[in-house]
A and B are shown apart, each in its own frame.
Chain A
Amino acid sequence: MSQPTDNLDRTELFINRELSWLAFNRRVLEQGLRASLPPLERLKFLAIFSSNLDEFFMIRVAGLMQQAAAGVTSKDPSGLSPKEQLDAVAAAAHELVRQHTQAVNALLEELRTHGLTVLKRSEWKLEQREFLRDFFDHEMLPILTPMAVQELQPCPLLPGLQLHVAITLDGQEAKRLLVIPVPPVFIRYMTVPSREGTLLVAVEDIIADNAARLCPNSIISSIDVFRLTRDADVSVQEDEAGDLLESVEQAVQDRRRRAVVRAEVNAGASETLTRWLTATYALAEQDIYTIDGRLNGGSLWEIAGRSGYDALRLPDWPPQPPRDLAGYDSLWEAIADHDVLLCHPYESFEPVVRLLQQAAQDPCVLAVKQTLYRTSGDSPIIDALEKAAENGKEVTVLVELKARFDEARNVTWARRLEDAGCHVIYGVVGLKTHAKALLIVRRESGRIRRYVHLATGNYNDKTARLYSDIGLFTCDSQLAQDVATFFNLLTGFSEGTAMEKLTIAPISLRRKVIDLIDREIAASSPDRPGLIIAKTNALEDKKICQAFYRASQAGVRVRLNVRGVCCLRPGVKGVSDRIEVVSILDRFLEHARIYYFSNGGHPEVYLSSADLMGRNLDKRFETLFPIHDARLKKRLADMLDTYFQDTVQSWRLRADGTYEPAKPAGKKAVSAQTMLYEQAVAAQRKTRMNSARFKPIKSQKS
């Protein structure tokens, strides 16, 4: 219940979501400018910046444009109409893109000094030119489709996100335009033979170099490159921009399907091209981005990920064996003994895979149930599930196909599972399964025991090395029953939703979080003020923001660790004085969701698969689960504290919506992720020291 004294709906209390996201991407850009990072690490961030921005335009900006086209004028919680948001976004984005291009250009220059060179066309030597001509003739020419776009009615559909080479030709009356889509089958930066160092050539340059041969008998006035960004597919829109689309009529949506939301062109592109783009795709001036460098920064990943050049990267941090499994030969035994916490990527994800592999072969295992969202295609997890089904276990897999843009890949392995005998559920109508849960039913010495794994991150052994996530293994009977109920709900086996420990979105997760905040308020007193520490990837839900405001007003200290979008405004007098927000961007993508409540001296810690975003809490299956083991609670509480001690990779949100980078200020520069990794290494060292003693196997008689 909101306090009657203060109006917590005021627009000045909320930061616009899209602008907050751009501020996040700015922090990504800043990582790309951080001189203390090796060059290829910086390049990674610059690549991520671009691909992030691509998605942002395809989904969020597209959604805003749909609203504007539909004549929607309603304002977001921060008081901006769709048009106002589009304008603000454009202003910020243009500036960011300008800075990004500069950064990329500078970094590519720097890489030259390390023997990694992306050649400009003007730098091609004869032998390279000949090599590339040969390549063009044999590999490229046969599959190029140059189009005289002005003459084709209707205009052919040029795919989004793909590079296109545009040749402007002099004509009798007016200039003519020839557009050549760059086939995506080619990698962006091709290696050319060199005597020393690596020489790379951009694929569009190869086409440009051979342009004359594509249009003989014509005078080429300009060769340019452009890239279109289109409105994303409906199913993705439904999930990621559903909040925007709610108010847009279906008819409008259909008309605008795949509409172009952004066009990028190189600086100095011909007027013919820009005029044609503007006219054909009904673009406003602010929708056209002029890049004074290479387009599609996302493809810089190809360079950043090149093998070799390890000197230009940070040293690898191999995941350590999890400390909770120290001393145990058998995973089953360890989990039955005590709850096991896995903190990735500091600790290895391998035990999760291993447990599944063992379950597949273990004759005592009766059933395996798992949710799979964004798993890797060649995943050992899928292999294990296949094997389990082949070995006669009852395997139920909930596959989320709407995982962004991996749809095609997802379908093949889902079929594989089905063929092996798994009971595959392709999601639930209207809801995206974002929860990460695993249930194994095993018969041991006559009794049934259930092993549960709940996590904040996906069952993806690859991302488990790049994202920071937390997983819990437990045999707790009540939690196992709740997880069983959860799977029964997803498979349609049961309609019952009564759960005691597990909380599920879309049923009651938001309510539970708000109840926990309210409880903290009630338990808070001047002598012992309450404390809430919440780590999440995004905080956007209005009701939860308001609950945090109420907590601050009631004297509760609220420490928020929000990596990305944060619509809550800290430091507003009388509203959020006691709220601080930090964001950590470091080598691993912060992904875990942890919630801590001091609860009047009986602290409670929860992990969750959910970010605090309105639509996620209403349109996705998510989990929120408590950690009961006191030892693990302490470990998580300490971890939360560690993030606030970061003085290098953290940013603090100001009341005006901008972020201030942390300053070491006399203290030693401390990075939270480094501390956490060092802790994992130290724990492993200690284990090795302890296991130098022999452990006798005693008789079972008690």
Chain B
Amino acid sequence: MTQTETQETPPVEPLAAIDIGTNSIRLLIGQLMPDGGIEILEKAHRTVRLGQDSFRRGRLEPETMQAAVSILREFKRTIDLYKVNHVWTVATSALREARNADVFCDRVLSATGLGVDIIDAPQEGRLAVMAVRAALNDKPPSLGTHTLICEVGGGGTMLTALDHGQIEAAHNLGLGSIRLREALGAGELSGESANELIQNEINATMASLEGLISLKSIRTFFIIGSDARFAAARAGKKLPNPKFSTLSRKAFDKLVDAIRPLSLEQVMAKYGVSYNDAETLSAALMIYQTLLHETSAANVIVASVTMRDGLLLELARRCRHQDDPWFGREVIQSATAIAEKYKVNLPHARRVAACAVRLFDELAKEHRLGQRYRTLLEAAALLHEVGTFVASRAYHKHSYYLIANSEIYGLNHHEVQIVAAVARYHRHSAPKPTHLEYISLPQESRVIVNKLASILRLAKALDISDVRKAEQLTFKLTQDKLTVFVPGLADISLRKRLLESRNDMFEHVFGMELDFEGI
């Protein structure tokens, strides 16, 4: 739904984001101002060692869950005080790896009414990038060429590579500051030995980045997170943009070398930090240091933003029914990369996609789906023939499998399933109750798949030989009939195909007649 053009100022909206992390639960409450800015009202965090449970035993212990639930209750009380309607509660690696995550989420829901969204690492990365972008606000330092944004969390390290401000690749390195300590039993060792072990593990894991992200080409290196902020506070130089500081390689090395030989207690005493902060500090800084040295960046830029800022920005967007201008581009970029991987006829796929989105736009009032679904449709169109990589017979079923198991940057798991389903239904059978992949979707999503798949079928049927001709398509839409004016309708085979498509899904789904006329 696009924003209606009115002269009224949009109302101020209170927003809240809760991040259930590996070591703590963090709350951020802000209010979305008419000018689009977000004023922060409350910030809070409490320690709860969910990561320790997950990384050690693969499940959350009752006491930990109890503690977390009671903290969430308190947070919810404050959220209610501010009368917040838009709340987003996310959980990251600690819950991703807990076998009983569902139990925990249920308990949270019944105790507080909060629905927990367990997001994946790429999404975390995306939110972080969103926050950095917003903080930069088009001012330097810029997200220029060959930029890497990195956050060392408790459970993993999120790396996002950008070029010209756009996300190119994302990877979650299995190196987390808490995870490392747990895995290596570092708690029982002295500072020096523990850190040595950790460094070895880091070096070994670096190899997994081969071919995924080229660190050598990185020239601008952003880091975020509390450990990054610590480094900025101790040894950083503030930049004109107040949310950013920079440290030279030398300064960073000096800091890490100073911390390396220290035990946790010594770190606490020397730097005046709490036990929680000290715990993650040396491992996180060593990971940042190792990465920094792999890149060609002369210094590291610390951004004082968090994923939670990204959560609020995303919430703000939803409130204002706005779309992330970067979102579409990133998804399409990712989808294109996958299409290339599976050797799809890209020009053809792009033509179909162009036609599909034109149809989507034209039928906006009919399907009433938001811009996000336009992107899903476009992705599905780009990917609908990946299945031919496996076999040409029933390739649409192979397409389903390949897409459903791919990572399309910017889409969550559920959305990927929708794209896969839309691609599957671009030919042959319409959705049937016996199709597991269809029936396992919630009803709302099935309706969406129906609509998008119908459009995709029609777009494919139109199969214009020239992309420019897609733009030449015109439409006439009445209450019960869509007339498509197609250039080159004289072509017999084209006409035949089009006539067949008339009895297809489209008429059933949209409840309107389909007709074609030549231009």
Nearest-CB residue, chain A, relative to B74:
A493
Q: Does B107 contact A (CB under 8 A)?
A: no
A366 in contact with B44 (CB, 8 Å): no
Q: How large is the interface on B (under 10, 10 to 19, 20 to 34, 35 or more residues)?
A: 20 to 34
Q: Does B82 contact A (CB under 8 A)?
A: yes
Q: Give min CB distance, A505 to chain B, whole Å.
A: 13
CB contacts (< 8 Å) of A484 on chain B: these are 41-43
Listed stretches A204-212, A408-416, A442-450, A661-669; interface member: A442-450
A496 in contact with B43 (CB, 8 Å): yes
B78 in contact with A493 (CB, 8 Å): yes
A446 in contact with B81 (CB, 8 Å): no
B41 in contact with A481 (CB, 8 Å): yes
Q: Does B83 contact A (CB under 8 A)?
A: yes
CB contacts (< 8 Å) of A450 on chain B: these are 41
A445 to B274, CA, bound (A): 41
A496 in contact with B44 (CB, 8 Å): yes
Q: Does A518 contact B (CB under 8 A)?
A: no
A445 to B10, CA, bound (A): 12
Q: Does A55 contact B (CB under 8 A)?
A: no
User: DSSP class of A's interface residues: helix, strand, loop or mixed?
Assistant: mixed
A477 to B47, CA, bound (A): 26
A448 in contact with B46 (CB, 8 Å): no
Q: Does B257 contact A (CB under 8 A)?
A: no
| Cβ proximity bits A440-468 to B, threshold 8 Å, 1 near / 0 not | 01010111101000000000000000000
A477 in contact with B39 (CB, 8 Å): yes
A219 to B235, CA, bound (A): 83
Q: Give min CB distance, B13 to chain A, whole Å.
A: 8
A394 to B80, CA, bound (A): 11
A366 in contact with B12 (CB, 8 Å): no
CB contacts (< 8 Å) of A485 on chain B: these are 42-44
B41 in contact with A448 (CB, 8 Å): yes
Q: Does B236 contact A (CB under 8 A)?
A: no
B45 in contact with A366 (CB, 8 Å): no
Nearest-CB residue, chain A, relative to B24:
A495
Nearest-CB residue, chain A, relative to B27:
A494
A447 in contact with B31 (CB, 8 Å): yes
Q: Give min CB distance, A599 to chain B, whole Å.
A: 16
A residues 297-336 touching B (CB-CB < 8 Å) = none
Known: A394-B81, A443-B83, A481-B40. A494 touches B12 (CB 8 A): no
Q: Does A645 contact B (CB under 8 A)?
A: no
| Cβ proximity bits A485-521 to B, threshold 8 Å, 1 near / 0 not | 1001000011110100000000110000000000000
From B42, B229, B274, A495 is in contact (CB under 8 Å) with B274
A481 in contact with B43 (CB, 8 Å): yes
Known: A447-B31, A496-B43. A367 touches B12 (CB 8 A): no
A481 to B24, CA, bound (A): 20
Q: Which of A394, A443, A447, A494 has the most chain B CB within a 10 Å cutoff?
A: A494
Q: Does B33 contact A (CB under 8 A)?
A: yes
A685 to B12, CA, bound (A): 41
B81 in contact with A366 (CB, 8 Å): yes
Q: Give min CB distance, B341 to chain A, whole Å.
A: 43
Q: Give min CB distance, B457 to chain A, whole Å.
A: 46
Q: Does B62 contact A (CB under 8 A)?
A: no
Chain A interface residue count, Cβ-Cβ cutoff 8 angstroms: 22
A441 to B83, CA, bound (A): 12
A residues 177-205 touching B (CB-CB < 8 Å) = none
A496 in contact with B45 (CB, 8 Å): yes
CB contacts (< 8 Å) of A443 on chain B: these are 83
Q: Does B51 contact A (CB under 8 A)?
A: no
From A441, A447, A488, B33 is in contact (CB under 8 Å) with A447
Q: Give min CB distance, A549 to chain B, whole Å.
A: 24
A484 to B39, CA, bound (A): 14
B residues 29-70 touching A (CB-CB < 8 Å) = 31, 33, 39-47
CB contacts (< 8 Å) of B274 on chain A: these are 495
Nearest-CB residue, chain B, relative to A445:
B12
Nearest-CB residue, chain B, relative to A480:
B41
A493 to B81, CA, bound (A): 14
Known: A366-B82, A394-B81. A446 touches B12 (CB 8 A): yes
Q: Does B11 contact A (CB under 8 A)?
A: yes
Q: Give min CB distance, B70 to chain A, whole Å.
A: 12
A370 to B26, CA, bound (A): 24
A488 to B46, CA, bound (A): 11
A609 to B71, CA, bound (A): 31
Nearest-CB residue, chain B, relative to A366:
B81
Q: Give min CB distance, A24 to chain B, whole Å.
A: 33
Q: Give min CB distance, A477 to chain B, whole Å.
A: 6
CB contacts (< 8 Å) of B74 on chain A: these are 493
Q: Give min CB distance, A312 to chain B, whole Å.
A: 54
A481 to B39, CA, bound (A): 10
B31 in contact with A488 (CB, 8 Å): no
From B24, B39, B43, B83, A498 is in contact (CB under 8 Å) with B43
A507 to B41, CA, bound (A): 22
Known: A367-B81, A493-B74, A495-B274. A447 touches B44 (CB 8 A): no
A495 in contact with B41 (CB, 8 Å): no
B45 in contact with A448 (CB, 8 Å): no
A507 to B233, CA, bound (A): 15
B44 in contact with A488 (CB, 8 Å): yes
B12 in contact with A447 (CB, 8 Å): yes
B82 in contact with A494 (CB, 8 Å): no
Q: Does B14 contact A (CB under 8 A)?
A: yes
CB contacts (< 8 Å) of B33 on chain A: these are 447
Q: Which of B39, B40, B42, B45 has the most chain A CB within a 10 Å cutoff?
A: B42
A498 to B74, CA, bound (A): 20
A residues 681-695 touching B (CB-CB < 8 Å) = none
Known: A366-B81, A447-B12. A494 touches B31 (CB 8 A): no
A508 to B46, CA, bound (A): 21
A630 to B108, CA, bound (A): 49
B44 in contact with A493 (CB, 8 Å): yes
Q: Which of A450, A477, A488 has the most chain B CB within a 10 Å cutoff?
A: A488
A494 in contact with B45 (CB, 8 Å): yes
Q: Give min CB distance, B495 to chain A, whole Å.
A: 57
A481 to B47, CA, bound (A): 21
B81 in contact with A495 (CB, 8 Å): no
Nearest-CB residue, chain B, relative to A494:
B44
CB contacts (< 8 Å) of B272 on chain A: these are 507-508
Q: Known contacts A366-B83, A448-B41, A496-B44; can you find 7 more A-B pairs with CB under 8 A?
A: A366-B82, A477-B40, A485-B43, A485-B44, A493-B74, A495-B47, A496-B26
13 A-B contact pairs sorted by A residue (CB < 8 Å): A366-B82, A448-B12, A448-B41, A448-B82, A481-B42, A485-B42, A494-B45, A494-B46, A495-B45, A495-B46, A495-B276, A496-B44, A496-B45
Interface of A toward B, CB cutoff 8 Å: 366-367, 394, 441, 443, 445-448, 450, 477, 481, 484-485, 488, 493-496, 498, 507-508
Interface of B toward A, CB cutoff 8 Å: 11-12, 14, 24, 26-27, 31, 33, 39-47, 74, 78, 81-83, 229, 272, 274, 276
Lowest 4 CB-CB distances: which A-B pairs, in order?
A: A494-B44, A447-B12, A496-B45, A446-B12
